[in-house]
Structure 1
Amino acid sequence: MNSEKVVIITGANSGIGKAAAFKFAKQGFTVIMACRNMEISRRVQGEIIKATQNHRVNLLKLDVSSFESVRQFCLEFKKQYEKLDILIHNAAYANHGEKYRLSADQIELTFATNTFGPFLMSHLLIDWLKKSDDPRILHASSNIVKHFFDPKKEIEVTNLRGEDKESKTFSLYNMYRNSKMALVMLTFKMAEEFANDGIKVNAIQINGATMSKETLQKFKPGWRMIARIQNLFFAPPEKFADCYFEICTSDQFKNVTGKLLNDKNQIINPTVANANVKTQMKQLFGSTLYPVYADNKDNQNKIWELSSEITKVNGHTIIP
């Protein structure tokens, strides 16, 4: 029964995360909204319970950019629940136009939120996921990774701890792109690492969902105008909420792991090394190819090792 299934959704108070929380609650799941802003989240929680008549919609505080908050969230979750079936890493930081910012752990905020926080959280919850008869993890990536054209290019990791925070050349756009590429590579590597535990790990490539007025107001004026134009072409959040649900619950994906999926729930394949212009254009404007960079095992291992070092994860063991 779905009432016995437990799902955690980070960033569940707005956008796709909110739509996903509605979807899972309507289908009878026990939903844990993992959110930073509790005032907004309590209102959304009430809306979901009222609309779905599902009273198993819980709210736990989480700032995924803070390792201490991630740890506290996981401790509280384990006190209240005996297992975890689905973990959806939906929350992200992408406030284009912002200057270089550091998290509470003195990590660049984009990477702390989009990459390192989810990495730590998955490891902290692995024992609870192993208690499920069908455990699944889903990472929300972005079509921005398609802009990673050069297979020889490497993700910049030398400015993730405030080394050059005063640089005028800092681009949050580039940092966001790199953090989402890193998340895709961690998806592939994590699927291998967690395979013996029966945990399936996949990622979905988000190609834009309609943003609320509140979300648009977070952007700097110039970027806000761009976002408003993009909104005209974006699909509603419910479309990707449906994708989340299918990937995390359907028999179609029961044995699928280590894959990047598009908005049609199709598996995206890597492009070839030294791809010609035609293939590169297909990668950029289509939704069936991702940059070959992400498929490089050395690149995956470097990001895994960096994430392990920063979060103090050693294998499946969390170092105190």
Structure 2
Amino acid sequence: MKDKITVITGANSGIGKAAAYKFAAEGYRVVMACRNLAISKPVQQEIMASTGSQTIDLMELDVSSFDSIQTFCAAFKARYDKLDILIHNAAFLSHGETEYKLSPERVELSFATNAFGPLYMTELLADWLDRSHDPRVLNACTTNIKNFFDPKRAIEFDNLRGEHRATRRYSSYKMYGDSKMAFLMLTFKMAEQWRARGIKVNAIQINRVKLSKETVAKMKSHWKALAWAQNLTNPHPSGMADHYFYLCTSDSFKHVTGQLINHRREIVQPASNEQGLNQLKNIFGSSYYPKYAIEQSNVDQVWGMGQTLIAAHSS
């Protein structure tokens, strides 16, 4: 599999690190796309020593920055002649943060990192994915999107550039969930856009998993204590990394695109009933996602904003 090239963002900790280990152990050429090279270099060396692989590359990437994404993609294309698997694993997760932070493109940082950055990166690498015989893109989603089973929940499209940050209380937890819902909608749209080119784009719904020390350290106050407590019983990231590998390599998902897949490797369906008892079943189950994700007006707003940002950066 040494001719199979896999890019994993956020590959220096948590599920990303476990996924880099898994793909390397299986003989794939792995590109660890990470923001902090000083922290990531020892991780790269650790994985190489553990797997015996000499085909693990480390490249700098800040997914929240369009300039960084553009630089990474240009460097990747100069170094490699194709891309087989692209895993958007990196995420901005800073629960308890009260300050509204913007990306270099002046977009709320959760949305820049968790949604619009991956969209831009995939668009820039689409022609390299075209060169693969079996190109697959996997987007890391979350069970947090279940909050959208609440009929009052909606993405604050009018505040994604901080337009109302002086009058609206910032909730990093809500913005994280909103950005992941946006990422799911972008998954569906990207799959539709690139279906004819044979590029498969799916999302995986991350279930409970032990959070890395680095992720927990970024959290504030009681969120940090809650994360440590949950880590006592949450499963290790290696299990989810196995799911990453299976969805990106198995024949079972070779022709699947535009789907959300749960931790049982089952395709999750849009809920047809979100009222009463069914709402509770949806929240505590893993078979359905909120129909908010497929409402055309919502999809159009997310896609339109992403394309506007990309066009502005390219002009």
Runs of 5+ unmatched residues, structure 2: none
Give me the whole-angstrom Cα distance separating, in 2, the residues matched to 1:291 and 1:276. 11
Query: 2:222 is matched with which residue?
Result: 222
After superposition, what is the alpha-carbon deviation per residue over 1:14-49, rounded to whole angstroms, capped at 9, x for unaligned? 000000000000001010000001011100000011
Distance in structure 1 (CA, Å) of the matches to 2:135 and 2:20: 18
Residues 1-320 of structure 1 correspond to what in structure 2 (within 5 A)? 2-98=1-97, 99-151=99-151, 153-167=153-167, 169-273=169-273, 275-312=274-311, 319-320=314-315
CA–CA separation in structure 1 for the residues paired with 2:208 and 2:218: 16
Sequence identity of aligned pairs in percent?
51
Measured against aligned partners, the alpha-carbon deviations of 1:155-174 in whole angstroms (never above 9, x if no partner) come to 21111112123345111111
In 1, the alpha carbon distance for the partners of 2:186 and 2:296 equals 11
- Three-state SS of the structure 1 residue aligned to 2:149 is coil
Moved more, 204-213 or 185-194: 204-213
**Counterpart-to-counterpart distance in 2, 1:51 and 1:106:** 40
Mapped contact 2:85–2:136 kept (Cα < 8 A): yes
SS at match of 1:87: strand
Contact 1:100/1:166 (8 A) holds in 2: no
Instruction: Return the letter of the residue paired with 2:227.
Output: A
Aligned-residue CA RMSD (Å): 1.4
Q: TM-score, length-normalised on structure 1? A: 0.95
Residues 142-182 of structure 1: per-residue CA shift (max 9 Å, x gap): 00001102457532111111212334511111111110000
Query: Aligned in 2, Cα 1:22/1:161: closer, same or farther, shift over 3 Å?
Result: same
Within 2, Cα distance between the matches of 1:46 and 1:70? 24
Q: Is the 8 A contact 1:151 1:292 kept in 2?
A: no
Query: Structure 1: any 5+ residue segments left out of the alignment?
Result: none
For 2:234, the aligned partner's letter is F
Secondary structure of the structure 1 residue equivalent to 2:54: coil
Residues in 2 aligned to 1:310 and 1:151: alpha-carbon distance in whole angstroms: 29
TM-score by length of 2: 0.96
SS in 2 for 1:164: coil
